[in-house]
Structure 1
């Protein structure tokens, strides 16, 4: 059993920005980060659930609760625990894809204040057919960023592949499996490094540089709640990996979409059979235009080309603004 460690740590500088931004707009889901992978081919659901649970238990940052100490936000470390993904069978639905889109849209609309109070991450394996799944994940930006998501998801694929290949799991990049306090030590080190930088001459130089670049920041915006966000706009609010929608206070507005084919090394997820592909859809929903695509559209009257067989690596996802 993991050592029960309830150490309270300060927030990093990046976390502080997200904390105050969320509290200015508590009902907004804009700090939710989500990804959705389409998995084609046979998937061992029990092995996949164990891989997700194992990877989640290695990352202390996912197992915290947020509180205030003398009006200053802090994070309290909780015991790490394996949290497997929810398995949702949509194969009997008249339109499984539409049902999956409704599921992901509803979860991504989780208000930030609800997520901060304990619903910091969520994984789900949506079964559209025996050989067709969607792997959906959602995190609050307080506990993870885009790079962190990539590390975690890569680890899940690594654990899954090892089991299918009958090999021992590779050592964790963030925690020693033999040390129950390993994940906690990693988060403590990260916070200590952040505080060390803040008090360093390097931080003073960086601050002086950026202050010289923007010498007249203007009046600070008061820390008062914004007007309530209408439900329709809450549903449309974007994330770091999807659509970013500005508010009436003048935040940045723009759209970012990335699509591409993701493959895992070895025989495991999402590539467990010849011809299977795993495609990643970024944004508030698994876009049919992205996730359903298995290649360039076929000319009229001709079948769509088959996806690569066996799965092969492809170039990184393209970025379009």
Structure 2
């Protein structure tokens, strides 16, 4: 077997989980767009091949050498375009075909971690799916791959050269930088920082509807709620008055809600982030995700503004230690009772920028919106992203005219009604917190008086 490339710590953790359950789809992820125009299929094949040439993770398989997982880069052709014809099927059947292609397990040893699938319903009606295993990609990678595919397709469809310029860096550069950092004095100092953050703490833990049991497969579901438009409009000004970002303000509000819902005053939650810290890795495909561990400390006198300021401080301290891999920290820091470092994560996705493709992908509320790109007419098709080992992932989506909250939860642990109610409580907490930032969290009315008391 040829010598393989080493993996990052995040990849090693995902390889371990894959070995335990190779037929699981828990770490499959992807992006899809509806194509509402004619497609030049030979050009799309050429663009897909160019994608694999440009990004070596698309033609990589995974194996073990001397007891350690490694990545083997193969020749072009491993991740070619698959075409599925589903003529005349209903919208539900078309979506089901796309979701089935997304959920199909990845044989990482034999076929690698990517597939590109075109599901055709008619000559001007198809869905393009780029699916991957999280061991080789992240959300930014999906945007990069879709953007590169379209950039290559356009000249190919015009009879030109689909070749894209070379990348300034590789994912292996990232792996090497991570190993160098961990071996440095700065790496040791950062580990001590995270150990201090976690010392004596416990993860925020929402009351479960069903017992958590080890080995139970993750069954994901999503609950969404819109924030009151007036509150959404007022948020930016209140955050600025408090000297924090919108994200920090919303994080503080969410931590306040957890304080009320769990009766924990001191707890840990996770904040997904990226380690794409260099311009050389900005367009590189790979798993650059990391999780910052944030520790909230609230009391009966805490206000929403104080919680937001504290959240901003947690984020600043966390960003200083962003290069330390969360899987390595989780393996070295043990909490009381063997609890994980976090059961919940909180994130914010901003679709107010100038990138029309990113705006399309993040716009989950307007699936009928059409954007021209590379000679094609595209619409979004939100996919059910599976959630791994967490109880709950909260994503706040900010667009130019709306603020929406997405609760992606483990349906083996929580009833849908429980999550629907909690999402509604968060939307109400945001409205209360922007209307009265100096009101006390402990006494704020965050739910109907008919519901069971929580404080």
User: TM-score by structure 1 length?
Assistant: 0.65
Q: Match of 2:127?
A: 134
Q: Structure 1 residue 282 and structure 2 residue 375: aligned?
A: no
Q: Structure 1 residue 107 and structure 2 residue 101: aligned?
A: yes
Deviates more, 1:12-21 or 1:141-150: 12-21
Cα shift readout 1:96-154 (whole Å, capped 9, x = no counterpart): x2332232232333346x34553522111111121111111210111111112211111
Cα shift readout 1:170-200 (whole Å, capped 9, x = no counterpart): 633427xxxxxxxxx8343333222222222
How far apart, in 1, do the equivalents of 2:72 and 2:3 lie?
A: 6
Deviates more, 1:256-265 or 1:31-40: 256-265
Deviates more, 1:256-265 or 1:45-54: 256-265
How far apart, in 1, do the equivalents of 2:158 and 2:41 lie?
A: 16
Q: Which runs of 5+ in 1 are unaligned?
A: 176-184, 219-224, 241-248, 286-313
CA spacing shift, 1:255–1:165, aligned 2, 3 Å: farther
1:34-113 matched pairs, under 5 angstroms? 34-81=30-77, 83-93=79-89, 95=90, 97-111=91-105
User: TM-score by structure 2 length?
Assistant: 0.47
Cα shift readout 1:272-293 (whole Å, capped 9, x = no counterpart): 3xxx3322423259xxxxxxxx
Cα shift readout 1:64-105 (whole Å, capped 9, x = no counterpart): 222222322222222233643212221244x2x233223223
- Which one of 14, 20, 23 corresponds to residue 18 of structure 1? 14
| Paired residue total | 251
Partner of 1:74, secondary structure, is strand
The question of whether the paired residues in 1 share the 8 Å contact of 2:15 and 2:135 is answered with: yes
Q: Structure 1 residue 320 and structure 2 residue 405: aligned?
A: yes
Q: Match of 1:208?
A: 192
Partner of 2:136, secondary structure, is coil
Q: Structure 1 residue 156 and structure 2 residue 149: aligned?
A: yes
CA spacing shift, 1:172–1:70, aligned 2, 3 Å: same
Q: Which runs of 5+ in 2 are unaligned?
A: 203-212, 223-271, 273-338, 350-361, 387-398, 407-455
- Which one of 250, 259, 263 corresponds to residue 363 of structure 2? 259
Q: Match of 1:190?
A: 174
The question of whether the paired residues in 1 share the 8 Å contact of 2:59 and 2:112 is answered with: no
Q: Offset at 1:206?
A: 2.0
Q: Match of 1:227?
A: 215
The question of whether the paired residues in 2 share the 8 Å contact of 1:34 and 1:139 is answered with: yes
CA spacing shift, 1:115–1:72, aligned 2, 3 Å: closer
- Which one of 165, 172, 190 corresponds to residue 172 of structure 1? 165
Which structure has the larger Rg? 2
How far apart, in 1, do the equivalents of 2:13 and 2:401 lie?
A: 29
Q: Match of 2:236?
A: none
- The higher-RCO structure (CA 8 Å, 6+ apart) is 1
How far apart, in 1, do the equivalents of 2:15 and 2:163 lie?
A: 35
Partner of 1:282, secondary structure, is coil
Q: Match of 2:390?
A: none
Deviates more, 1:146-155 or 1:68-77: 68-77
The question of whether the paired residues in 1 share the 8 Å contact of 2:46 and 2:162 is answered with: no
How far apart, in 2, do the equivalents of 1:173 and 1:319 lie?
A: 38
How far apart, in 2, do the equivalents of 1:54 and 1:174 lie?
A: 13
